[in-house]
A and B are shown apart, each in its own frame.
Chain A
Amino acid sequence: MATPVPVAPRRRRRSRARRSTPLTIAMLAALAYFLLPLFWLLIASTKSTQDLFNSFGLWFSHAPQLLANVKETFTQDDGVFVHWLLNTVMYAVVSSVGAALLAAAAGYGFAKFRFRGDRLGFNLVLGAVMVPTTALAIPTYLLFAEAGLVNTPWAIILPSLVNPFGLYLMRVYAQDAIPDSILEAARIDGAGEARIFFTIALRLLAPGLVTVLLFTLVATWNNYFLPLIMLNDPDLYPITVGLSSWAAQAQNGGAGSSSDMLALVVTGSLISILPLVVAFLLLQRYWQSGLAAGGVKQ
């Protein structure tokens, strides 16, 4: 039936538009800056710790050993890196799916229903967009410590479930993408509100939902401050905290077992960014239209 209003309609380019070579070259130069550290990471993960210091940083050494590095990354400390990877996936997936669903339901509720206190509730959340998460993190830690939640996965997942900007985005999106006439028609056909939400609204909200999901996924995947303060059991660490603990070991000196740590930090870093980069490439058209909704409306 009706399709949601496209948020970012693709304009047809004038066919006579000429391409500009100077502009393209300037932008390629900018691109080089953005890709340089990633290029370095790719090269560096093929090197031993020794070669990281002895060979030129932006080119391969004489003895590339990517596979050996990967194997060592996964087996160091009885495979703790695998734990970190799985923890990160678990925290990120549970948080982002939960946050997206909560934001979708609430955004839909605020967009399509009038009830007592709706304006106040929404404005409260809108104001909360400005409260920085790290300013909240320390009091949250103290509260969680009293509740016995510190050093459990809940300490990471629960705070990530509330995404005020996600709610704002879903409300804007619901307003545009769900025509009231469809809701009325479904009600006349006798569908309950819950059924209307799950079978009709959620489907129309899908692109916005994917946007919130993807951005919460990135935020949780990349989260460092919250797990840093909430967790002290290495088996519960996400990749970010794990890598920084390895980096600290690597920097503490070349003595003994820590001398090979740097290669592991580098290879682990490369492995940690691959899933997100792939997710973004695959889901491009969703996050772009979703972001457009947030950036255009007031």
Chain B
Amino acid sequence: MAVTTAPSAKGRRRAAGPLFVAPFMVLFVLLFLAPLGYAAYLSLFQERLIGGTAFVGLDNYVKAVQDPLLIHGVGRVALFFVIQVPVMLLLALLFALALDSGLLRLARVIRLGIFVPYAVPSVVAALMWGYLYGPDFGPFAQLSRKLDLPVPGFLSESWMLGSLANIVTWEFVGYNMIILYAALRTIPQELYEAAAMDGAGAWRIAWSVKLPALKPALLLTLLFSVIGSFQLFNEPNLLMKVAPDVISSSYTANLYAYTLAFTGQQVNYAATVSFLLGLVIVIASYAILLTANRRRTP
């Protein structure tokens, strides 16, 4: 190094890094690690009718993995994830590629219009779609009746998961599209010129140049989607009010944890379920990361 600084300044500089990081890290420990640790601690106890709270080791976990309500909730969410996330990310990818192709008229309007639902609170999104889905007064039902067609049962048992998937897709396609679009914009123009020089057409360029460059961004959107779908709560909790027979209080794992804690007063078991749910999400996320990394380095 050409520049030497005075020893005292160097000492101050060494202290500066931790000082910049400290406020965030202190809050991180208090508001992130402490609740996690507390949940782990609580999950080891059970409230007994007689004798108060007792240490039960892993009993709550044994109970949880055999709890049909939890298993169904997780299963429903997993099914939701398997169908909704690919559809959403594929749409986001197609929209991003279309925007980036430079072939669109009104590209700015379209981009903003698709993104706008992200700014809508999920509560409002669920309220709006809940009304639109309505079998009596919803506009789709009104139209079907006018055309003498059967009224679609968006809120029926067999359609509900799809109806929820539609709301979540509506909310987040634009957000994912923007991440992918922003990543596309950073691909240097020279790459396209080189590919065109080699005789690649528009499709070939999209497949061989754009998609590989999008991998990190796609991975990011996939990770966020895993986290998002497994903690599904707001939309089912609101649609529950219009379709109470279809959505039970354990419809998703998160809804179940909420019910346990706030209506069942089973604090320890709720902590167990929360902790397990977090664990499932972390494991799923790591699995995705590992698979992606293995693919990248053959």
Contacts and interface: CB of A to CB of B under 8 A. Distances in A.
B35 A24 contact: no
Contacts of A24: 103-106
Contacts of A30: 91, 95, 110, 114
A101 to B, nearest CB: 9
B3 A188 contact: yes
B180 A295 contact: yes
A296 B178 contact: no
Interface in A34-53: 34-38, 40-41, 44, 52-53
A296 B250 CA distance: 38
Contacts of B39: 135-136, 138-139, 142
A103 B282 contact: no
Contacts of B12: 192-193
B111 to A, nearest CB: 9
Contact of A113 (B16, B178, B188): B16
Given A27-B98, A136-B35, A224-B123, A141 B28 contact: no
B23 A106 contact: yes
B261 to A, nearest CB: 5
B38 to A, nearest CB: 5
Contact of A106 (B25, B101, B234): B25
B77 to A, nearest CB: 11
B281 A131 contact: yes
A118 B17 contact: yes
A110 B21 contact: yes
Contact of A138 (B5, B137, B185, B271): B271
Contacts of A133: 231
Given A34-B117, A113-B20, A281-B112, A40 B139 contact: yes
Interface residues of A, number: 114
Interface string A153-194: 000001101101001000000000000000010011000111
B128 A296 contact: no
Nearest to A146: B38
B154 interface: no
Contacts of A240: 121, 123-124
A152 interface: no
Contact of A239 (B14, B115, B116, B121): B121
B21 A56 contact: no
Nearest to A112: B17
Contacts of B24: 102-103, 105-106, 125, 162, 167
Nearest to A37: B128
B257 interface: yes
A23 B233 contact: no
Contacts of A62: none
A134 B39 CA distance: 13
A2 interface: no
Interface string B157-189: 000000000000010011000111011011011
B72 interface: no
Nearest to A17: B102
A10 B274 contact: no
A269 to B, nearest CB: 4
Contact of B254 (A20, A114, A134, A222): A134
Pairs of residues from A and B, 5 with the lowest C-beta to C-beta distance, nearest first: A113-B17, A109-B20, A57-B139, A292-B182, A106-B24
26 contacts: A24-B103, A30-B114, A102-B24, A103-B24, A105-B23, A109-B19, A110-B17, A113-B13, A113-B14, A113-B18, A113-B20, A129-B223, A130-B281, A161-B27, A167-B24, A184-B3, A192-B12, A225-B258, A229-B258, A269-B128, A277-B119, A280-B115, A291-B182, A295-B183, A296-B182, A296-B216
Given A10-B185, A37-B117, A131-B32, 16 more contacts: A20-B101, A23-B101, A28-B106, A31-B113, A38-B116, A38-B120, A52-B137, A121-B25, A136-B35, A218-B119, A224-B234, A229-B262, A277-B116, A280-B115, A295-B216, A295-B217
Interface of B: 3, 5, 9, 12-14, 16-21, 23-25, 27-28, 31-32, 34-36, 38-39, 42, 91, 95, 98, 101-106, 109-110, 112-125, 127-129, 131-132, 136-139, 142, 170, 173-174, 178-180, 182-183, 185-186, 188-189, 216-217, 220-221, 223, 227, 230-231, 233-234, 238, 241-242, 254, 257-258, 261-262, 267, 270-271, 274-275, 277-278, 281-282, 285-286
